[in-house]
Chain A
Amino acid sequence: MLRIFHNTKYDFIKWWKVAAIVTGAFIAIGFASFAVTGGINYSVEFTGGTLVQLKFKQTADAAKIRAALDAAGIKGAEVQQFGAADEYTVRAQDKALVAQQDAGAEKVEDQIRAALSKSLGAETYSVVRTEAIGPKVGEELSRRALLAMVLVSVATLIYLAFRFEWRFGVAAVAATLHDTIVTLAFIKLLHLEVSLTVVAAILTLLGYSMNDTIIIFDRVRENLKTAGRTRLYDVLNRSINDTLPRSIMTHATTFVASLALLLFAGEVIRPFAWVMTFGVVVATFSSIYVAGPVLLWIEAKYPRKASTGAAARTDGSAKRPGAVATR
């Protein structure tokens, strides 16, 4: 039988300070970039606006496209190469332009087409994708996305509260929250476009990142039963080591699947794939270095009452995991 990381005895928790600094720095850099490069790059779905994906007959030049738009007075449109050298996207999210779309979502797209046809020639390009979202629809979609985020978070919280005793629950929530924040920093740093699909990726991650924490905590609970007077610190370390092979295997399979998406599934789905791929890595990290230390910290701050007995309760029911082992 092939084994990796079998019976390891790494002291994972020892490095929590280093881990905290690394992740803290990453978050700090991510959020500091708000000051430099502006806010999150929301898609037209949320801001309202127009996205036009163009395919040119020949290799095109972003500067020329920009010039064509400028000449027609279409301000603040962002021109970006999209995959191949003959494909570009034009995104118009300028407030004044979006306001025009209230009278008809197609207005700005018509202007973009007219501008390009005039400057570059109508036969040199074709429009392969359009997303034109009026301001009202944009507001509605952002509201719904926000609501979805909140609902999933609340539902996850409620589930964790049922599943675990509160100390574990809070630690798991901290890990999940950490993942969301780090992923946001990642999105910001890569300047990924946040669309509904990316929101879906984040929500999927929320569930995914919880799983790993649950697997480790389940093992902690189990080990606590036989822990006797072992320190929680050691129980935690042992549990992480115990579950290390399966953590690595589950993440490896999900990682290769999201990597396949990232590398081979094309440009349209790429932001989604980025978030998933990054999220898988972060989820592994947080279940060890966020959930663990937070649990230790809570235990130190609000120790379990020793009077209920030094040894653990032996029933492993979901609602009363009440294992007791303090130093």
Chain B
Amino acid sequence: MNSLRSRLLLIAAAIGLSVFALFPRQTAVREKTPDGSFTETTKRLWPLKYGLDLQGGMHLALEIDESKGAVADKKDALGRALKTVRNRIDQFGVSEPVVQLAGDDRIIVELPGIDDQQRAQDVVQQSAFLQFQIVDKSGALDKALPRLDAAVRSRRLDVSSGAPAADTARPSSATPLSGLLSGDTAKKVTVAASPDSAKAAVGATDSAKRDVNGPMTRLLQAGQVPGQFYVKEIDVPRLTRYLADSAVRAAIPPGKVLRFGADTLAGAPGQGTFREFYVLDSRPIITGEFLTDAKPNSDPLQGGYIVEFEFNAEGGRVFRKETGRHVRDNMAVVLDDRVMTAPTINSAIGRNGQITLGGGTLQDAQDLALVLRAGALPVPLKVAEIRNIGASLGQDSIDKGKRAFGIAIALVIVIMVGYYRFSGGIAVVALGLYIFFTLAALAGFGATLTLPGLAGLVLGVGIAVDANVLIFERIREEMDRGKSARLSIDEGFTHALSAIVDTSVATILSGAVLYQYGTGPVRGFAVTLVVGVAASLFTAIFVTRTLLLLWLDRTGGTKPLSI
């Protein structure tokens, strides 16, 4: 009796603990407001975490991209990149994001509830390397064009138009526009050879020498200011290809760099779209490292959106000095090697500035401000793995998983009660507690419920009663030998134990290995498996026995056991 009481107390304690673990609690969550920003609120939530495959979301594995040059100290670079990515994600507005190192060469980013894969990827991957460079007004490119044309010709880049046909077929892959910044522009420029723009192209005065049929020259039209050109959008891949060639690069004027604009411009009717092309001083007058703040705003003059930024004191000093030296020059705001804008400097600029987004939405402006604030990535990152699951598919999995769970429970109850009657009923009570304890343990340990985990839970319903079956069958055998109910129960439990332990050991072995070597969803399965085995050991052996002892106690052991 005494031992029965302590048994019941232990079970009550386990139930109490589980109720505590599963009780809905105040949780801080980030919620999306209608205007697209995020607010922190608290909500009472069921404390069981769902994996990305159930709640929907995105899993990214990032690696250092060494295609544009080797990185010396990868570990250090990755550590710094991790910090930047974490900064960005923290401001991105996802509830419970995960940003962590995996192994020595990978960053894992998990974004629950993200529905815009492209946007998330851009925010994570964008280098956000901001530079301010003076637009060349010395006509350096015009002077170098004959050499560039010659280089293109000598490498026969202009004739091999058959092979790179793929380039023109898929311009998007050849010119990886950042999705964030490539909104079709609202800016309209007429690029006809108006006398105005011809005059503006001071560097091109030597037009007699200009070989209009040169393979490179042909692609360029003079822009509105020196150092600015227009390229037909369909020629962009071709020009990109030319510029990728080492001989052509060698012919680029020293101390200058050539950069495309970020946006496309609509030309005169029938001319298609154009892209700006700039010749810039390769030395930036300042970079984004001095940036302290950046915020999106609407452009009061032209409409559209801008990002306003602020330098720290030191940056402000440098910026004022440099812009003071270049009054009436054009200064290109270059983000990730693309010219965002190239306004004329009217007077020295201090700590504040702005970047104009040609086209693009408020969200684009917000994202740009975000990545500028969070800082540039120290190394380029590439995506090694993406798993993205829509929230509706996740919800569908949850619904169907719950349905299977319910049906499995119902079937098992029918089998157990149908076959073992009263004792089967006891096993069902134990099964109910098993489910309860398993969920509580998952919540208590902060484990994540994934779809395979949910499947493991359903399967667990069938496996958890196995121990009861073994015990009951043994009790039956003992009773067949004419033993009393009490003795049969004792013997039944004792003899069935070794087989039950075997079962558990085998399952725990598999579970442990799966946990060690699995990925997210499979880990969820492993956890459910192991937790389930532990819970079923407790319920099938301890709880069932206690309930049977309770029955014995009530009946005084005089009635035959219904089993």
Chain A residues within 8 Å of B, Cβ to Cβ = 1-2, 4, 45, 53, 103-107, 109-111, 114, 126-134, 136-137, 141, 144-145, 147-148, 151-152, 155-156, 159, 163, 196-197, 199-200, 203-204, 206-208, 210-211, 214-215, 218, 245-246, 249-250, 252-261, 263-266, 268-269, 272-273, 276, 318
Contacts and interface: CB of A to CB of B under 8 A. Distances in A.
A257 B513 contact: no
A257 to B, nearest CB: 3
B510 interface: yes
B499 A258 contact: no
A131 B466 contact: no
A151 B455 contact: no
A258 B404 CA distance: 9
Interface string B399-432: 0110111011001100110111100000000000
8 contacts: A45-B519, A130-B389, A132-B387, A134-B383, A211-B502, A253-B412, A256-B411, A276-B459
Q: Is the interface of A mostly helix, strand, loop or mixed?
A: helix
B390 A269 contact: no
A104 B517 contact: no
B513 A155 contact: yes
B517 A145 contact: yes
Contacts of A258: 458-459, 462
Given A132-B383, A265-B404, 10 more contacts: A105-B383, A131-B388, A132-B387, A218-B499, A254-B459, A254-B463, A261-B408, A265-B455, A266-B401, A269-B454
Given A159-B509, A266-B397, A249 B473 contact: yes
B117 to A, nearest CB: 7
Contact of A254 (B392, B403, B462, B473): B462
A66 B30 CA distance: 41
B519 A141 contact: yes
Contacts of A114: 170, 172
B121 interface: yes
A43 B509 CA distance: 25
B521 interface: yes
Contacts of B498: 218, 318
A250 B466 contact: yes
A126 B416 contact: no
Contacts of B385: 105, 132-134, 137
B4 interface: no
A223 to B, nearest CB: 12
Contacts of B173: 107, 110-111
B496 to A, nearest CB: 9
Nearest to A210: B506
Contacts, number: 227
Contacts of A130: 117, 386-389
- Output the residue of B392, B420, B522 with the most chain A CB within 10 A: B522
Contact of A250 (B405, B459, B469, B518): B469
- Output the residue of A106, A151, A199 with the most chain B CB within 10 A: A106
B522 A156 contact: no
The 10 A-B residue pairs with the shortest CB-CB distance in the complex, in nearest-first order: A257-B462, A207-B506, A254-B462, A266-B400, A260-B408, A265-B404, A128-B390, A148-B517, A256-B411, A246-B473
A273 B455 CA distance: 8
Contact of B419 (A2, A110, A131): A2
Contact of B384 (A2, A111, A134, A144): A134
**Size band of the interface chain B makes with A:** 35 or more
B507 A261 contact: no
Contacts of B309: none
Nearest to A209: B506
Nearest to A243: B473
A203 B452 CA distance: 13
B382 interface: yes
B164 to A, nearest CB: 14
Given A133-B385, A196-B522, A103 B452 contact: no
Contacts of B382: 103-105
Nearest to A214: B502
A198 B485 CA distance: 44
Interface in B496-541: 498-499, 502-503, 505-507, 509-510, 513-514, 516-519, 521-522, 525-526, 529
Interface in B43-97: 53, 61, 63, 65, 67
A131 B386 contact: yes
Contacts of A276: 459
B470 interface: yes
A204 B455 contact: no
A128 B462 contact: no
B514 A203 contact: yes
